[in-house]
Amino acid sequence: MRNTYQDNSVFKLIVRLTDAEGNLFDPSVGPTVDIFAPGDDTSDDTSADVLNASTASLGDVGQQGTNLVVKEAVGIYSYVFPIVPDATIGSWTDRWSFTNDGVPTTVDFLFSVEERVRLESSSLSVNQCIVITLDSTLADIAGSTLGTDVEIRFWTPLSPMYSSTTLVMREAGGYLRGVDESTILLALYQAGLEADIITFQAITNRQWYEHARRKWVTCMAARNVMINLSNNLVKKKQLADLTVEYDLSWFSKIDELGDCVSDLSPVLESGGELSIGASYKVQTTTKGVNDSDFPNIGRGFQKSGARGGANSSVYTGGKSRSVRTYRAKGSTSRGTNSRGKPGKWGSGEGF
């Protein structure tokens, strides 16, 4: 039985007219179609919702439909019967009548109207795989079914996408013949995520950085796909007197792509500051005065009588240090610290 739901404005009924040998034919008169709701008396034409609709008429007065019968092909006719939102739920009858070679024929078919349901759905977003499965029993207007389930798969736009399948095939197309495009797209997507992760610094030269990133992602994606394919390869296989050797250039290409990734990685890591083969700039740091390992920078002391110069005493309190110079370069008095107490070095003159 054919099924539909309430509020279906394009529900189509189809009939095929065949003779005893199964050949399609067009009748000499008709066909016409009548529609009866569930519970209606099909023997009473006055109870029909639609009566005598044809290729030339919407139906009898008071029982007209909204569409004409349409000839789809020889012996195949259709009729669109809109199902209103509050249509009666249950089994409806569509009655087809025609005359051929002077013999009138009437055939009743059934279709089911089911309760309208609310389907909740969400908008598609990036990085989603959509799988549509067509049931094996799905038939065309000629009645031929699919026979087996048919799966249709597609992806919403992948992001980030810093390269393209065209560039990957240009880089390694000879090795990737027969690989599904979605496989390469997923490899590009994964490589793009890795490119973002290894970009540690702010981008300083955007044009150079984006160029290097595009090349890096292309090489990384092609390399990953080739590595997965190479798992099915063996270097040499022998069966009796028959020996098959595989082209070792496959692995040379993987190494070449790996070199491409290695050469461009510093460019991505530096945000485009470095060029290929360049080294990172040497950077130095100086400890602050509050660091526990900060050195005591001051003049030492020797015997009195030597020429003074920039003497200092250091007072240690916890992890902080205070530094003061002596009162006079030539003084023989004791130095004082930041608290006005004698310095721990005692008196003397600097040099």
**Domain locations in the chain as residue ranges:** 2-114, 124-157, 165-269, 285-351
The 10s digit of each residue's pLDDT in 3-62 is 888 888 889 999 999 998 989 999 999 999 999 999 999 999 999 999 999 999 999 988
Q: What is the pLDDT of residue 290?
A: 66
Tell me the C-alpha to C-alpha distance, in Å, between residue 187 and each of 159, 163, 166, 213, 224.
Answer: 12, 10, 13, 15, 7
Is the pLDDT assigned to residue 80 strictly greater than 50?
yes
- Using the structure block, give the residue that is written with the tokens 């399609």: 24
250: enclosing H helix or E strand: helix 249-269
CA–CA separation, 242 and 234 (whole Å)? 15
Residue 90 has pLDDT above 80, yes or no: yes
C-alpha–C-alpha distance, residues 95 and 107, integer Å: 6
pLDDT category, 122, cuts 50, 70, 90?
low
* Confidence at residue 345, expressed as pLDDT on a 0 to 100 scale: 43
Q: Identify any residues that bridge with 130 across adjacent strands, giving them in sequence order.
A: 154
Least trusted range by pLDDT, from 3-17, 19-33, 134-148, 275-289 = 275-289
Distance CA 50, CA 59 (A): 6
The better pLDDT of the pair 305, 226 is held by 226
pLDDT of 210 higher than 90: yes
**Which two structure tokens, joined as six digits, stand for 338?**
């930041």
Q: How far apart (Å, rounded) are the C-alpha atoms in residues 325 and 338?
A: 10
Judge whether residue 314 has pLDDT over 80.
Answer: no
The angle subtended at Cα 132 by Cα 128 and Cα 135, nearest 5°, is 165
C-alpha–C-alpha distance, residues 83 and 4, integer Å: 8
Which of these, 235, 256, 259, 254, lies nearest to 245 by C-alpha position?
235
User: How far is the CA of 18 from the CAs of 12, 21, 27, 34, 142, in angstroms?
Assistant: 20, 8, 10, 20, 11
pLDDT band for 123, please (50, 70, 90 cuts).
confident
* Mean pLDDT value across the chain: 81
Confidence of residue 259 (pLDDT cuts 50, 70, 90): very high
Residue 282 is predicted with a pLDDT of 64
According to DSSP, the residues that pair with 134 across neighbouring strands are 150
Residue % of the chain over a pLDDT of 90: 48
Is residue 286 predicted with pLDDT exceeding 70? no
pLDDT at 343 (0 to 100): 44
pLDDT of residue 116: 79
Among 3.40.50.920, 2.60.40.1930, 3.40.50.720, 3.10.20.90, name the CATH number for the domain at 2-114: 2.60.40.1930
pLDDT the model gives residue 291: 65
pLDDT (mean) for 284-311: 56
pLDDT band at 346 (very low <50, low <70, confident <90, very high): very low
Query: For the chain, first and last CA: distance in Å?
Result: 112
CA atoms within 13 A on the CB side of 184: 22
Structure tokens at 124: 């598609």
Rounded to the nearest 10 degrees, what angle do helices 165-172 and 249-269 cross at? 130
pLDDT band at 276 (very low <50, low <70, confident <90, very high): confident
| pLDDT score of 349 | 39
pLDDT of res. 23 = 93
